[in-house]
Amino acid sequence: MRGDMEIHPAVERLIALMSVEEKIGQLNLLPAGEGLLTGAQQSSSLARRLDRGEVGAIFGTKSLASARAMQERALAGSRLGIPLFFAEDVIHGHRTVFPLNIAMACSWDMRLIERTAAFAASEAAAEGLHQVYGPMIDISRDPRWGRVAEGPGEDALLASRIATAATRGFQGRGLGTPGSVAACLKHFVAYGLPHSGRDYDNVSLAWEDLLETYLPPFAAGVDAGAASVMVAFNAVNKLPMHANAPLIEGWLRGGRGFDGLVVSDYTGVKELVAHGMGGAAVSVARALHAGVDMDMVGEDYLRELPALVGNGLTAPDAGLSFSADCLAELVDRACRRVLTFKARLGLLDDPFRGLKGGRRPSRAKGRRLARIAASRSAVLLKNEGLLPLAADTRIALIGPFANDRANMLGTWAVSGRAEDVVPLNDAIAALTGRAPAVAWGANVVDEPWLEQRLNVHGTTVIRDRRSKAKQLAEAVALARASDVIIAAVGEAKEHAGESSSRLSPDLPLAQRRLIAALARTGKPLLVVVFAGRPLAIGEIAAEADALLYAWHGGVAGPEGVADLIFGAAEPMGRLAVSLPRHPGEVPLTYACDTTGRPGKGRFTKFLTGWLDQPDDVPSFPFGFGLGYTEVRYAAPRLSRGVAEAGQTVELRVRVENTGSRPTVETVQLYASDPVARVTRPGRKLIDFRQVALDPGQRRTVSFRIDADQFSYPVAPSLESAEWVREPGVIRLHVGPNSRDTQMVELTWLT
């Protein structure tokens, strides 16, 4: 939604009739919480707010009936009959839980991402929801941050295409149409870059990095028509986002032409006080002026704005002064945006739009889609001739996730149900007709104090109370009696997600010891990792004969894994984020800026690497992933080696499936600019294509390249940013991942 705001005829009519208090009430966004209102006489703070017309929207309703009841009560309490809209956190599916967002990003399949978002939208809309808090498009390069689970990975281009696909999936044929919901891009902006990976912490970065890496996914979502945006908790370069007028009213609205709704995060306006922005009144004035239209949960707008509009604000210690008229205009601006959002949803024409109980999507269809998504999101990292397995293979299935349901859903699966998950042992039995021998073995949590901390949040972690020696003995005995060992390891769903930062993003020590003991049996060993973040694999990659990174795969995650293990599906996943070899090797990205050192020459001590990490530890870079066949790349060719700025250059590369199984290859194109005004990344993803290849098939993949792809920002400040591009040599790198590429050079003359 870009350009001048389209004003619904009813909006200006309502604005003219509304009192200041009624306008402020529209800016109040509250949780359903205690007030599901199934009884007309229920008394609660929410009910009282609804009766007085002091609520603009509700999030967290759990049924169509409760949403209808709230709408009826709100309409009865509103002098002008202004309806609510209803929202929910729909992060990676609704009732049908799909793989985590970071897992879906590893599919590199935009059509699949759009389809899963569309199905989630249809389920959410059938329960009376109008808006979802997604897609979450925060780029993160630090596995310590728990919310990497909800995001698109580490790369700006991949994240931007995901933002586009998910927005289109959620919003379908348009706001207010059956089965669609309003997307809400979050969290604006750079939330995935907190100091030390600590959730909610602040962010300091070059303006160039903000403009080139962290803002593009939001630009893509806006261009795709996203109807709303949620502001992040963090400060960016010393200014908290809930008070960041240069980025909200400046870059987002002024620069990108966004004309939709901006909502705060949970108590985000209230938290400006702790950020040091001043008292409640000052913080409210800052947030409203910055362009935050709705105040979620805190109710500071409701408390502070009546007096501010009546008296104005002068705060010399905060460097602020707002006249009463100015604040009244800001309230009008925010209220107009809320009402326009409701008009676009069709609610001003029909307050019960979406609340009448339309057709529910097929649960069976959703499950089939979830199973496909799980198999396409898992990444095969290693396979020394072990996979796929024959159906009659005698398997020892060992580890804490061998029979797990709840953790498979992952973090932020608010409407999912663990009983819908088919655990891995049952999925294998259903697929092969042969039940594996199962041993639990290995704790997910070794430390009692950590277990206690997780239990505060209702953890699904269950510690194995037997002695570790007994666990290992049982596991090894089962392993020796098998043909193949499958070790199902990883982290609990509470280990990832909001407020779940980890200092050491690796597998628990008990699991590492289990894998080492299983490897010593000499039996072929497949390690399957179920996780919500990129964990440091380290020596496990060397110990395993095959390694499958399955993430938390959602309601059909284990079934998708079983499909891959036994060849019912082909591995297609490619890493959307680099895997660290050691937990200390973070933050981590393939797109590091070039440096003067390390480099070749006499300063050998300063070569790339770590003194305390062996050079032979396998690494798995961004874009990496294997299939069950080999794909050979011919040398890339350019249509011309020298071009003018207005010309288009074509890069072609022939790929050939030299194996006996079909595959889908993700051909990736990177670029580097060896001479620029500022330091540039060593390489940067500029395009990718997915191509299906039958056994023995050759296909030519073509990329169209123009000069604008190589512009970059020079930004002493946000306001003075300039996008530039100089003539000269560009190096193009094409291959199956960010590391294993072939290079050609292209010269732009102007």
Task: Name the strand (E) or helix (H) holding 16.
Answer: helix 9-17
Cα dihedral 142, 144, 149, 151 sign: negative
Q: Which among 357, 350, 294 has a CA at the least distance from the CA of 67?
A: 357
First and final CA of the chain: distance in angstroms?
A: 34
Span 76-95, mean pLDDT?
95
- Would you say 691 and 736 are in contact if contact means Cβ atoms under 8 Å apart? no
Categorize the per-residue pLDDT at 4 as very low, low, confident or very high, splitting at 50, 70 and 90.
very low
Q: pLDDT (tens digit, 9 = 90+) per residue, 161-218?
A: 999 999 999 999 999 999 999 999 999 999 999 999 999 999 999 999 999 999 999 9
CATH of domain 631-748: 2.60.40.10
Task: Name the strand (E) or helix (H) holding 632.
Answer: strand 631-633
Q: Which of helix, strand or coil describes residue 69?
A: helix
The token duo for 551 is 């993430």
The residues pairing with 397 across neighbouring beta strands, listed in sequence order, are 438, 486
Q: pLDDT (tens digit, 9 = 90+) per residue, 227-249?
A: 999 999 999 999 999 999 999 99
| Residue 433: pLDDT over 90 | yes
523, burial (CB in 10 Å: exposed 0-12, middle 13-18, buried 19+): middle
| Residue 736: pLDDT over 80 | yes
Residue 447 makes CB contacts below 8 A (sequence gap 6+) with none
- Would you say 258 and 223 are in contact if contact means Cβ atoms under 8 Å apart? no
Place of tokens 């902006």: 189
- Would you say 527 and 515 are in contact if contact means Cβ atoms under 8 Å apart? yes
* Cα angle value 17/4/125 (rounded, 5°): 75
Residues in the chain: 750
The residues pairing with 446 across neighbouring beta strands, listed in sequence order, are none
The CA distance from 246 to 263, in Å, is 16
- Would you say 477 and 518 are in contact if contact means Cβ atoms under 8 Å apart? no
The CA distance from 401 to 423, in Å, is 8
Residue 708 makes CB contacts below 8 A (sequence gap 6+) with 725
CATH of domain 372-565: 3.40.50.1700
Task: Name the strand (E) or helix (H) holding 118.
Answer: helix 110-126
Looking at residue 33, its pLDDT comes to: 73
Span 339-361, mean pLDDT?
93
| Residue 283: pLDDT over 80 | yes
**Of 189-203, 367-381, 587-601, the least confident:** 587-601
Cα dihedral 113, 114, 119, 125 sign: positive
Categorize the per-residue pLDDT at 42 as very low, low, confident or very high, splitting at 50, 70 and 90.
very low
What is each CA distance from 352 to 67, 69, 126, 331, 342, in whole angstroms? 10, 11, 12, 26, 12
Q: Which among 313, 324, 323, 241 has a CA at the least distance from the CA of 281?
A: 313
How many C-beta neighbours within 10 Å does residue 279 have? Answer: 13
What is each CA distance from 316 to 313, 391, 487, 750, in whole angstroms? 10, 75, 63, 51
- Would you say 78 and 53 are in contact if contact means Cβ atoms under 8 Å apart? yes
| Residue 462: pLDDT over 80 | no
Q: Where are the alpha helices (DSSP H) in 96-155?
A: 101-105, 110-126
Residues taking part in catalysis: 265
Looking at residue 599, its pLDDT comes to: 62
The CA distance from 80 to 25, in Å, is 12
Q: Which among 181, 136, 190, 161 has a CA at the least distance from the CA of 411?
A: 136
The CA distance from 36 to 69, in Å, is 8
Question: For residue 318, what is the DSSP state?
Answer: G
The CA distance from 224 to 160, in Å, is 10
How many C-beta neighbours within 10 Å does residue 260 have? Answer: 25
The CA distance from 123 to 369, in Å, is 14
Residue 124 makes CB contacts below 8 A (sequence gap 6+) with 88, 90, 94, 132, 181
Looking at residue 6, its pLDDT comes to: 65
Q: pLDDT (tens digit, 9 = 90+) per residue, 124-174?
A: 999 999 999 999 999 999 999 999 999 999 999 999 999 999 999 999 999
Q: In the chain, which residues fall in CATH 2.60.40.10? A: 631-748
- Phi and psi (nearest 5°) for 670? -120, 160
Looking at residue 446, its pLDDT comes to: 54
Looking at residue 639, its pLDDT comes to: 97
What is each CA distance from 542 to 463, 534, 537, 646, in whole angstroms? 27, 17, 9, 49
Q: Which among 242, 307, 243 has a CA at the least distance from the CA of 281?
A: 307
**Of 133-137, 446-450, 655-659, the least confident:** 446-450
- Would you say 505 and 417 are in contact if contact means Cβ atoms under 8 Å apart? no
Place of tokens 């066949």: 629
- Phi and psi (nearest 5°) for 522? 85, -5
For the chain, the average pLDDT equals 92
Residue 300 makes CB contacts below 8 A (sequence gap 6+) with 269, 270, 280, 283, 284
What is the distance, to the nearest Å, from the Cα of residue 536 to the centroid of all Cα atoms in its chain? Answer: 20
| Residue 598: pLDDT over 80 | no
Share of the chain above pLDDT 90, in %: 84
| Residue 118: pLDDT over 80 | yes
Span 568-578, mean pLDDT?
98
Looking at residue 8, its pLDDT comes to: 81
Q: In the chain, which residues fall in CATH 3.40.50.1700? A: 372-565
The CA distance from 491 to 342, in Å, is 41
- Would you say 140 and 154 are in contact if contact means Cβ atoms under 8 Å apart? yes
| Residue 553: pLDDT over 50 | yes
